[in-house]
């Protein structure tokens, strides 16, 4: 999971390396792309301790590396219908917010799928300009591209 | 916000979570049925279990994600013994900790 995808495209001596830009994860009915630069680690789903009264997006607090980690439900954040019971649910630990004030949070997801290259020009921007940056075709599927900076604001 | 870096914290379990309350803010603690009744900052709180008192807790400010998706205003968050916990602001106690009339904790 830690190696960027670098498929070779072209032939002969003219080979082009297309580095992975996003981590693709399954969240309910959707596939979501998280910027690789923000992903710190993908781990088996962490034990989450609920916070009574929290919005549905906030699953609770977990422990990660000796630190408290707020854990958000990615499917709820993107308004995805729940999928089937995942066989290997994960917590994706990411940085959110601007560099000078970034925070570490976790996303629960049904599965980590692969590292993909999403060209910026392929992204159809969302209208709200918030957490959902837009959508892009990836491998024959339309995936949701997430803007993690927006979560830290 | 008060007492985010107290000398010691009383750790309690309540509503499925672990909570830390600065020692100096706790003015009363009594067994009540299966649970406990605490007096903190003039308010009566309930706890399902008393986990102990800890010192040297490293309290971090509440993450923006907490403030965004949780209406409470904790003093901070921390980890003790592998358990994440919320550090309570004695002046703004989370609703889940408040004693409910007629409650036999």
For residues A100 and A97, give the distance between their C-alpha atoms in angstroms, rounded to a whole number.
8
What pLDDT score was predicted for residue A100? Answer: 78
Per CB-CB distance under 8 Å, the chain B contacts of A66 are 79
Query: Strand A124-125 to strand A132-138: parallel, antiparallel, or no bridges (unpaired)?
Result: antiparallel
Map residue A75 onto helix, strand or coil: helix
Which stretch of A16-25, A50-59, A62-71, B53-62 has the lowest confidence by average pLDDT? A16-25
DSSP assignments along B20-71, one per residue = EEEGGGEEEEEEETTEEEEEETTEEEEESEEEEEEES--PBPPPHHHHHH--
Per residue in A27-45, pLDDT tens?
999 999 999 999 999 999 9
Give the separation between CA A94 and CA A88, rounded to whole angstroms.
Answer: 19
* Candidate ranges A96-100, A120-124, B66-70, B84-88; pick with highest mean pLDDT: B84-88
pLDDT of A49 > 80? The answer is yes
Give the E-state strand segments of chain A in sequence order: 8-11, 14-17, 22-27, 30-35, 39-44, 58-64, 67-73, 90-96, 103-109, 111-116, 124-125, 132-138, 141-146
Per-residue pLDDT of B52-67, as tens digits, reads 999 999 999 998 888 8
Contact A63 B83 (CB under 8 A): yes
Q: Name the pTM for this structure.
A: 0.86
Q: What percent of chain A has pLDDT over 90?
A: 64
Chain A residues near residue B81 by CB distance under 8 angstroms: none
DSSP state letter for B81? T
Quote the mean pLDDT of chain A: 86
Q: How many CB atoms within 10 Å of residue A122?
A: 13
Could you report the predicted ipTM of this complex, rounded to two decimals? 0.87
- B33 to chain A, minimum CA–CA distance in Å? 22
Instruction: List all residues of chain B from 36 to 95 with a beta carbon under 8 Å from chain A.
Output: 60, 63-66, 68-72, 77-79, 82-86, 94-95
Q: Specify the DSSP class assigned to residue A110.
A: S
Taking CA–CA distances from A52, the nearest residue in chain B reads B96
Tell me B89's DSSP state: B
Output the 3-class SS for A36-51.
Answer: HHHEEEEEECCCCECC
């Amino acid at each position: 999971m830690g190696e960027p995808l670098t498929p070779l495209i072209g032939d002969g001596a003219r080979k082009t390396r297309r580095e992975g830009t996003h981590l693709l994860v399954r969240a309910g009915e959707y596939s979501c792309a998280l910027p690789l630069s923000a992903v710190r680690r993908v781990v088996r789903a962490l034990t989450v301790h609920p916070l009574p009264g929290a919005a549905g997006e906030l699953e609770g607090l977990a422990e990660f590396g000796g630190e408290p980690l707020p854990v958000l439900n990615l499917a709820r954040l993107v308004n995805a219908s729940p999928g089937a019971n995942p066989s290997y649910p994960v917590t994706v630990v990411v940085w959110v917010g601007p560099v000078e004030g970034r925070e570490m949070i976790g996303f629960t997801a049904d599965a980590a799928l692969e590292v993909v290259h999403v060209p910026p020009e392929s992204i159809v921007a969302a209208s709200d300009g918030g957490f959902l940056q837009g959508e892009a075709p990836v491998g024959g599927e339309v995936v949701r591209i997430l803007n993690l900076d927006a979560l830290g604001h | 916000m008060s007492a985010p870096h107290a000398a010691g914290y009383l750790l309690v379990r309540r509503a499925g979570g672990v909570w830390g309350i600065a020692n100096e803010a706790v003015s009363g603690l009594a067994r009540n049925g299966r649970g406990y009744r605490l007096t903190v900052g003039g308010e009566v709180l309930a706890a399902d279990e008393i986990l102990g008192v800890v010192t040297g807790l490293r309290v971090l400010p509440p993450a923006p994600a907490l403030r965004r998706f949780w209406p409470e205003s904790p003093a901070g968050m921390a980890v003790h013994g592998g358990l994440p916990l919320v550090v309570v602001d004695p002046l703004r106690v989370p609703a889940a900790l408040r004693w409910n009339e007629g409650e036999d904790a």
